[in-house]
Amino acid sequence: MLGLVSLAVFIAVWQLLTVNHAIFYVRFTNVPSPEEVLARAILAAHNPVFGDHIWMSCRRILYGFTLASVVAIPLGLLMGRFRILREIVFPICEVTRPIPAIAWVPMAIMLWPTNEESIVFITFLGSFFPILINTLQGMATVDPVLVRAARCLGAKEASVFREVYLPASLPQIFTGLTVGMGVAWVSLIAAEMISGQFGIGYFTWEAYSLVQYSDIALGMITIGVLGLASSFAIRLLGRLAMPWGAAR
Amino acid sequence: MAGTARGLIEVQDFCLRYETMEGAVEAVSDVSLNVQPGEFVSIVGPSGCGKSTLLNALAGFLTPSGGTVTVDGEAISGPSADRGMIFQQYSLFPWKTVRENVEFGLKMSGVSRSERERRARTLLGLAGLTQFENHYPDRLSGGMKQRVGIVRALATGPRILLLDEPFGALDAQTRLIMQQILTNMWQRLKISVLFVTHDIDEAIFLSDRIYVMTARPGTIKSEIVVPLPRPREPSMTLSSEFLGLRRGLMSLIREESIRAMGGEVSLDSLKGLAINLEGQDLATVL
């Protein structure tokens, strides 16, 4: 309830500032008003091209993020279990991790034959490290008494891995997925703005070039909504995967 | 689970040393003890005396530095469902329901799903946990968690049961109830039990025999037979026989606890305090 009120106030202030072309140090002269943005949104909703932009971005996120999960989760689990693998892979991670995904853009363009692939690659990189690091963290904090209990009940290595290490790490893995999803969007939008054709990041940047100021705000809001929806989807997935209530 | 002569625990000259920066440290030295099939035996001793170390060796988590540890004549070569273990920390899998926890050992030994379910239901019924079978552990009280832990360890039909201060984290009332539940299950299943505790009353109430261990390096100081008849009732803890055993054990343990604390406390300075404490304790009990 209070949330709705605060949103209403935010929009009212935005309306007030833009309609009056307020100038403090920050200039609201060219900023579109909520009304104008709404009008553009209605127009865009009827335009299939706008839908294509959204679809392209979602597909890139889906590919990049899914790929990152499929690689980072098993890798993290194995690294957590086998010291030798951890000692081999960890130094490489530590060196490459501080490089922001956006800094990879020129390199990605050189590496991959198509633009599409390099954007997916950037998205992949952005979400890869948060997922890997959190999976590792999850493995490190598995309660040793549970492992011992499982062994006393006759569980062999593979069973201990599947029945204890994996479920015990799941809450931390999902933390990684949530963070990873956020970074995936940041990386995707940046990559689209720099090298994209299509995509909601490209749409937003193009709107600036074409002096379509209302579309800038529309693009921003759309990115926000998509980010919110995807982190909500992850949380929902977490609840389904962890019915014992660790997701709360 | 038939009452055959299975579950003979024999420990001969067990030693455990480990290396530190300052050199080898002897944690347990020359421990010899046995548990006859179907017997309930406790080990008491000051903290850090190596009670748990011994139990871990029996479970198969540690290899002795010297001596032998056998069950029914076979040397122990790793953890196995033949030797059930209950830990002081609650060790139920949080991601499994009560029944799934109980089924775990059976699942590991390849028992079919329907058979698993049937056996788990029977055991949960015996333990009075039927209505909680679909609960996740975080919904259970501490006592209930340990009860499920015991049922889980018993589900695979182990020859021996090892318990490492299982009721240490429970309140006095719950502990009393748990002791009776454990006694009931033990009598019904005729399983050999080795029970580690630092609670003297608990050891007397539960055991056929008690081993007292010395402070580090841990070794057996004495062996005490508990002649109290069974079934035992909580009221027995007030009998003169019980109190006599208790007094004997307390003085044995006190010497070792003081030794365990090293040179910081002298025996003489504690003497007056100890006598006072004992007097007060007896007065309130009687």
Chain B hits for A148, CB-CB cut-off 8 Å, are: 59, 61, 79, 85, 87, 91
Identify whether the C-beta of residue B268 lies closer than 8 Å to the C-beta of residue B258: no
Considering only the beta carbons, identify the residue of A150, A156, A167 that sits closest to B95: A167
Looking at residue A156, the DSSP 8-state letter turns out to be -
Q: Do residues A161 and A206 lie in contact, with contact meaning Cβ atoms separated by under 8 Å?
A: no
* Residue B31 near residue B219, CB atoms below 8 Å: yes
The string of pLDDT tens digits covering residues B153-206 is: 999 989 999 999 999 888 988 898 899 889 988 988 889 999 999 899 999 999
Q: Report the percentage of chain B scoring pLDDT > 70.
A: 90
User: Across the interface, do B108 and A151 touch by the CB < 8 Å criterion?
Assistant: no
Say if residue A121 is in the same domain as residue A230: yes
CA distance B43 to B211: 5
DSSP structure class, residue A153:
T
Q: Is the dihedral of CA A215, A218, A223, A224 positive or negative?
A: positive
Q: Tell me, what's the ipTM?
A: 0.83
- Asked if residue A209 is part of any domain, the answer here is yes
Q: Is the pLDDT of residue A48 over 90?
A: no
Q: Which residues pair with B68 in a beta bridge?
A: B12
Would you say residue A246 lies in a domain? no
Q: Looking at the structure, tell me whether residues A2 and A42 fall in a common domain.
A: no
DSSP single-letter state for residue A23: B
CATH of the domain at A163: 1.10.3720.10
Residue A216 lies in a domain: yes
For β-strands B220-225 and B66-71, DSSP reports them as unpaired
> Cβ separation of A153 and B138 shorter than 8 Å?
no
Residue A76 in domain: yes
Q: How many of the other CB atoms lie within 10 Å of CB of B124?
A: 23
- Note the residue count of chain B: 286
Q: Are residues A10 and A88 in the same domain?
A: no
Same domain, A115 and A80: yes
What is the chain B residue with the closest CA to A243?
B95
A2 and A83 belong to one structural domain: no
- For residue B198, give both structure tokens: 């630092």
CA-wise closest residue to A155 among B137, B234, B107, B142: B107
- Mean pLDDT across chain A: 90
d(CA B154, CA B124): 11
Q: Which two tokens stand for residue A206?
A: 């193009």
CB atoms within 10 A of CB A56: 21
A247 touching chain B per CB within 8 A:
no
Mutate to test the interface with A, among B62, B98, B108 (most CBs of A within 10 A): B108
Q: What residue has token string 């360890």?
A: B153
Q: What is the mean pLDDT of residues B55-68?
A: 91
State the pLDDT at residue B279: 47
Closest C-alpha to A188, from A111, A127, A131, A107 = A127
Same domain membership, residue A1 and residue A45 = no
Q: Helix H segments across chain B?
A: 51-59, 98-108, 113-126, 142-154, 172-189, 200-206, 240-260, 267-285
The B23-35 sheet, strands edge to edge? B23-35, B9-20, B66-71, B74-75
Question: Rounded to an integer, what distance in angstroms lies between the CA atom of residue A7 and that of residue A4?
Answer: 5
A101 and A17 in one domain? Answer: no
Q: Do A17 and A86 lie in a common domain?
A: no
Instruction: Give the Cβ contact number of residue A94 at 10 Å.
Output: 9
Residue showing tokens 């309130």: B284
- Give the model confidence (pLDDT) of A186-209 as tens digits: 999 999 888 778 889 999 998 888
Establish if A223 belongs to a structural domain: yes
User: What is the mean predicted confidence (pLDDT) over A136-144?
Assistant: 94
Whether A241 and chain B come into contact, CB under 8 Å, resolves to: no
Query: A247 lies in a domain?
Result: no
Match 């035992």 to its residue by tokens.
B232
> Cβ(A180)–Cβ(A68) under 8 Å?
yes
Task: Using CA coordinates, name the residue in chain A closest to B95.
Answer: A244
For residue A138, what are its two tokens? 């999850």
The parent domain of residue A201 ranges over 37-241
Instruction: Tell me the nearest-neighbour CA distance from A79 into chain B, angstroms.
Output: 23
Contact between chains at B81 and A153 (C-beta distance less than 8 A)? yes
Per the structure, how many domains does chain A have? 2
Going from the N-terminus, what domains does chain B have, and what CATH number goes with each?
9-92+140-231 (3.40.50.300)
The whole-number pLDDT of residue B95 equals 94
Residues of B in contact with A246 (CB under 8 A): 94-95
- CA-nearest residue to A147 within chain B is B91
Q: Is residue A219 part of a domain?
A: yes
Q: Give the SS3 label for residue A142.
A: coil
Same domain assignment for residues A197 and A96: yes
- B277 — pLDDT class (breaks 50, 70, 90): very low
Q: Are residues A61 and A182 in the same domain?
A: yes
For residues A135 and A199, state if they share a domain.
yes
Domain annotation covers residue A148:
yes
Return the DSSP state at A27.
Answer: B
Q: How many CB atoms lie within 10 A of CB A95?
A: 9
Identify the band that residue A142 occupies on the pLDDT scale cut at 50, 70 and 90: very high
Choose the closest CB to B87 out of A149, A154, A242.
A149
Q: Which residues, 6 or more positions from A243, have their beta carbon under 8 angstroms from its beta carbon?
A: B136
- Please name the residue that has the structure tokens 């940041």: A186
Going by C-alpha positions, the residue among B256, B260, B215, B257 that lies closest to residue B50 is: B215
- Same domain assignment for residues A59 and A172: yes
Closest-CA distance of chain B to residue A85, Å: 24
